[in-house]
Amino acid sequence: MKNLNMKAARAAKDYSQQELADIVGVTRQTINAIEKGDYNPTIKLCLAICKALDKTLDELFWED
């Protein structure tokens, strides 16, 4: 399932996938795979993304 919350939060911060990838220390393709729902990140990476986007885990990764 696509992670639209993360995509929206990234867009709100005006980050490109590459910029977010550089901040959290992964490749752009990994950020792309997470947003497309092709890859489930570890909790460590989820936390790094949350910190970079100033969001909580629930806001980015909890599915209603």
Partner 1 sequence: MKEAMIIAVSMTAAFIFIIIANIAGKKTGRQMDSQFDERQIIARNKAYMTGFFVILLLILADVLLKMTASAFYVDPLGELSAVFIGIGVFAILAIWNDAFLMPAQKPGLMSLLYGVIAAERMLRFLFSLRAGECFSEGKLTLSNINGVIGITFFAILAALLLKQRSSRSED
Give the interface with partner 1 as residue ranges (CB under 8 A): 21, 25-30, 32-33, 39, 41-42, 44-45
| CA gap 4, 57 in Å, rounded | 14
| CA gap 31, 50 in Å, rounded | 13
Closest contact distance (angstroms) between CB of 6 and partner 1 is 15
Identify which of residues 13 and 28 has a Cβ nearer to partner 1 in the complex. 28
> Is residue 7 within 8 Å of 15, Cβ to Cβ?
no
Closest contact distance (angstroms) between CB of 35 and partner 1 is 12
**Residue 43 host element (H or E):** helix 43-53
Identify which of residues 9 and 31 has a Cβ nearer to partner 1 in the complex. 31
